[in-house]
Amino acid sequence: MDAYPADSHRDTSNADAIAAFGELETGKKKITVGGRVMSLRGQGGIMFADLFDGTAKLQVVFQKDDMETASFGLFTNATDVGDFIEVTGAVFKTQRGQQSVQAEDWRMLAKSLLPIPTEHFGIKDEELKLRERYLDILLDPEVRVMIERRAKFWQAIREFYVSRGFLEIETPALETSPGGADARPFITHHHALDIDVYLHIALELWHKRLLVAGFPKVFEIGRVFRNEGQSREHLQDYTMFESYEAFSDLRKGGDFVKELYRHIVKEVYGKYTFEINGHTVDFAEEWKVVNFCDAIKERFGLDPLTCSEEEAIQAVRDAEIEVGEALNLPRAIDHLWKSIRKTISGPAFLVGTPAYLTPLAKRWEKDPKVAQRLQVLIAGSEVGNGYAELNDPQDQRMRFEEQQKLRDEGDDEAQRLDEEYVRAMEYGMPPSFGFGVSERLFAFLENKPAHLAQIFPLLKPRG
């Protein structure tokens, strides 16, 4: 018998066989099912196997009296847990009432050369579970269901936006100038053009070029890459969602975002209340509004809009906040805010962020030092970010130049001066609301560290 045939004769999935069991049993119709052998038991003239094909688990009964002697002998001698096989026969119920297939013939589809851990004990080593994630998924139903929810999570977002007239787009992963976020990029070499290029750290600047091009509503679900620290909330290679709507603003956008989050949790989880990292979060309740500058004034007695760099850095030291980087004014103020953020369960909107922390958002007319930005606060973290998008090319150039100065002084996460983007904006971009959220939201809803909520998290090679 060929151990690795190129075809399969399976004509019925396990789930379909179970769903139509009564009809198949009455009609005594023979079917061919297939799947991985998850368990084997029995001896002598009868063997039982549980087959799993990704849809359901189904018992198959092999009896010597109902099969050719050679076929039965080959099964008992050559089949192991982990093998993929297909079986042809009629359905029936055992004396214990177990829905089963009575095997008349069988065939090997793929011989397993390594033993599959037993379902009962599974894989206990946490690193091995991630390194051999395919076995973890196979043996742990909760991981499998999480992956199915992950697919529903992105589908819920996609359906929400498509139903509201947004156009789904794709933008380049390779850029000559990374922008749209404060992050360190991955660098690679483009041999055909003989230039260094970057894996994009955000989708934003391409989307706003499309607003310039006349598209009023666009969104993208795509991969982004940030060569920075790894933690419970941060990954370097992950899925990001971003959307941009012309002729919208921060107020309309905030209402839209609340509707989006409530849609996601209802469609994917069927509930609004979650326990996340020690916080209780109810998405159905009224969302609070937290003012960035007011919160820092209240906690540290410092005004982020008027304080000096030295005062901000001293406040970080006085608060004994651990930092792993050289501090400037934006980084110091950011650390002060993050120490406050940990205590906020949400859901809430963070507003009143200084413009120097937000190079791509419009300023408020009544106070140009403050950006028109809102961030979603959930379980002590920012899980979603929205702007009234900056569309003044002169202001944009000035803020890029401020960021470039920080880069030149050693801040490798500050944004670059992107001349091509500024040129696009000089042709005119309408008032717009932009919003983005990454798969961090899914990890939070699952109450898992970010890498455990991914299907195949990145690990160092063995050894």
Grade residue 193 by pLDDT with cuts at 50, 70 and 90. Answer: very high
How far apart CA 319 and CA 402 sit, in angstroms, is 28
How far apart CA 4 and CA 112 sit, in angstroms, is 10
How far apart CA 434 and CA 242 sit, in angstroms, is 7
Mean pLDDT computed over 425-452: 96
Domain regions of the chain by residue span = 14-110, 139-287+346-453
Q: In what order do the strands lie in the sheet with 187-190?
A: 174-175, 195-199, 187-190
Q: State the average pLDDT for the chain.
A: 93
How much is the pLDDT for 255? 94
Does residue 119 register a pLDDT over 70? no
Neighbouring CB atoms inside 10 A of 255's CB total 10
Which of 364, 379, 294 lies closest to 336 in space, CA to CA? 294
User: 281 pairs with which residues across the strands?
Assistant: 274
CA dihedral for 24, 27, 33, 37, sign (positive or negative): positive
Superfamily of domain 14-110: Nucleic acid-binding proteins (2.40.50.140)
How much is the pLDDT for 45? 92
- Secondary structure letter of residue 81 according to DSSP: T
Grade residue 234 by pLDDT with cuts at 50, 70 and 90. Answer: confident
> Which H or E run contains 34?
strand 30-43
Grade residue 121 by pLDDT with cuts at 50, 70 and 90. Answer: low
Does residue 277 register a pLDDT over 90? yes
Does residue 120 register a pLDDT over 60? no
How far apart CA 49 and CA 89 sit, in angstroms, is 14
Lowest-confidence segment of 115-119, 206-210, 314-318, 334-338 by average pLDDT: 115-119
CA dihedral for 330, 331, 335, 341, sign (positive or negative): positive
Does residue 220 register a pLDDT over 80? yes
Mean pLDDT computed over 22-27: 94
Q: Is the peptide bond before 347 cis (omega within 30 degrees of 0)?
A: yes
How much is the pLDDT for 399? 87
Q: Output the pTM of the full model.
A: 0.90
Neighbouring CB atoms inside 10 A of 114's CB total 7
Domain over 139-287+346-453 is classified CATH 3.30.420.40? no
